[in-house]
Amino acid sequence: MAAIGFVVPVQPGKEQADLDWMEEMQGARSDEYAASWRQLGVKRHTVWHQETPDGTVAVVFMEAEDVAAAMQAIAVSDDPFNKWFRDRVQDVHGIDLTSDSPPQAQQIHDAAF
């Protein structure tokens, strides 16, 4: 199982839109979300908000069988849920998943006790 963690900005004034979107994925769209992302091999997707001196960021963690393949599939999938998800990413984070490079993250520490 592979994992990635990364940070993306929340556009100024879009904090509530981000919270609403996450709530919708856990509520009204939870079945679509689970089915679509299971098909892509995603096992876990978690998001936190963190306030910084430069504004709010979303801290994202994803586990998947193949993280790079899952992220690429989300970017190009014709699945209605994934299209909706891409629209939310562009609105809230200002990132066009169909043309922008996916977030790059380098793990520099991992400890289990």
What are the average pLDDT values for consecutive 10-residue runs of the chain, which has 113 residues?
92 97 96 95 96 96 93 93 96 93 82 88
pTM of the model as a whole = 0.90
Q: Has residue 79 been placed in a domain?
A: yes
Q: Has residue 42 been placed in a domain?
A: yes
CA distance 84 to 106: 28
Q: Report DSSP state, residue 103.
A: P
pLDDT of residue 69: 93
pLDDT of residue 71: 92
CATH number, domain containing residue 46: 3.30.70.1090
Q: Has residue 68 been placed in a domain?
A: yes
Contact between 113 and 30 under an 8 Å Cβ cutoff? The reply is no
* Domain total of the chain: 1
Residue type, 22: M
Can you count the helices (H) and strands (E) in the chain? 4, 3
Q: Report DSSP state, residue 3.
A: E
Q: Has residue 77 been placed in a domain?
A: yes
Q: Has residue 82 been placed in a domain?
A: yes
Look up residue 66 and give its two tokens.
């193949």
Task: Give the residue numbers spanning the domain of 58.
Answer: 2-93
Terminal CA-to-CA distance of the chain, rounded, Å? Answer: 20
